[in-house]
A and B are shown apart, each in its own frame.
Chain A
Amino acid sequence: MTRFATLSHAWMAWDGPAPAPEDAALDHTKELDKFLAEVERRAFRIAQVSLRDADDALDVVQDAMLKLARNYSAKPSAEWRPLFYRILENGIRDLQRRRAVRKRLMVWLPGPKEDPDEEAQDPLDSVAAGGADVPELLMQDQAMAKLETSLRALPARQREAFMLRNFEGLDVAETARAMGCSEGSVKTHYSRAVHTLREQLGEVW
């Protein structure tokens, strides 16, 4: 077979035009949209458990989505989840640090002391209209409220490990990437978190 014949066969094996850059970008955007739609409410709840404030949680999630889209959207989609939760956890920690500083300053400043951690929430706010029966929903709410209270009492790293592994379903390797630590540390944090929560909530919880 001559050289030209080989080339012509290779040409025949090529099954159509390559996708245009615009189409590839559109597919990528759709994929990112799907990913963000999947994680946004779960991320919001995770942030809300840590921050105890819906508006702060929304701000942190919005910031995490923007940072992921701006800086890491070109990365393979398989890497988005640990990256997104790493950005989210960093945002939560930053906000908690700022709150701690603000709390220390408020001691020295005159005027009303504002503490978002102490804001009372109306339990009816979280009850959805329709759907499951109200007693069942109230029981779920109470159980979740207990779990959230116990989670907030945990050390931050244990809480992060529990929420990423249990709530978000990340495996050990993904959790380690999201937390920026070793897989061994994740196992230790998670194991201690489960042990403490089980002790606090009891088996009948």
Chain B
Amino acid sequence: MNESNLDPSPFEERGRRLFDASVERVDMRVRSRLNVARHAALDAAQGSRSRFFRVPVWTSAAGVTVAGVLAVAIWFGGPGGHAAHLAAPTETGTNLEDLELVASSDDASAPPMDMLQDDIDFYEWAADKGMTPDSGNVG
């Protein structure tokens, strides 16, 4: 067995034979401990294999719990949830008004000149009466 997988030289053969002989003379204390270690390893292998294939009991219980929580969350959760429709069946009109408010333009954001042109008659009347914003004597 030189550099590759060739036949070993006599030197290498002797090394191999000496090692094999030393393995045969391993004492009983060590053999016994190795035997115990091997059985512990086999137990571990069986344990890991059964854990891999078996569905643990707690998994089914946890699955039922998670499914329940999800069902409740879907039932009550969110504005479009089933419970929301049940809780406010008569508020359809209110919702439409809200939509109109949102869609309409905001007066406060309009330019001042536009506001003036919209109520030009009112401002002319107020000027005739000599009213100022600070006077407070309306009418």
| A-to-B contact residues, CB < 8 Å | 21, 25, 28-29, 32-33, 36-37, 40-42, 44-45, 54, 58, 61-62, 65-66, 68-71, 73-74, 125-128, 137, 140-141, 143-144, 147, 162, 165-167, 169, 171-172, 187, 190-191, 194, 197-198, 203, 205
Contacts and interface: CB of A to CB of B under 8 A. Distances in A.
A200 to B, nearest CB: 11
A45 B26 contact: yes
B100 interface: no
Interface in B1-52: 1-5, 8-9, 11-12, 14-16, 18-19, 21-27, 30-31, 33-34, 37-38, 40-42, 44-46, 48-49, 52
Contact of B42 (A33, A41, A62, A147): A33
A74 B12 contact: no
A68 B37 CA distance: 12
Given A58-B34, A62-B41, A140-B18, 13 more contacts: A36-B38, A62-B40, A69-B41, A69-B42, A70-B44, A70-B48, A74-B49, A143-B18, A165-B1, A167-B15, A169-B16, A194-B2, A194-B9
A126 B27 contact: yes
A41 B23 contact: yes
The secondary structure that dominates the A interface is: helix
B28 to A, nearest CB: 9
Contact of A58 (B9, B33, B49): B33
Interface string B43-86: 01110110011000000000000000000000000000000000
B44 A66 contact: yes
Interface residues of B, number: 37
A111 to B, nearest CB: 29
A29 B42 contact: yes
B73 to A, nearest CB: 38
A190 B16 CA distance: 14
Contacts, number: 121
B24 A128 contact: yes
16 contacts: A25-B49, A28-B49, A33-B38, A36-B42, A40-B37, A41-B23, A45-B19, A65-B41, A66-B44, A70-B41, A70-B48, A74-B52, A141-B22, A162-B15, A167-B15, A171-B5
B13 to A, nearest CB: 9
Nearest to B26: A41
Given A21-B53, A37-B38, A70-B45, A44 B16 contact: no
B46 to A, nearest CB: 6
A172 B41 contact: no
A187 B53 CA distance: 42
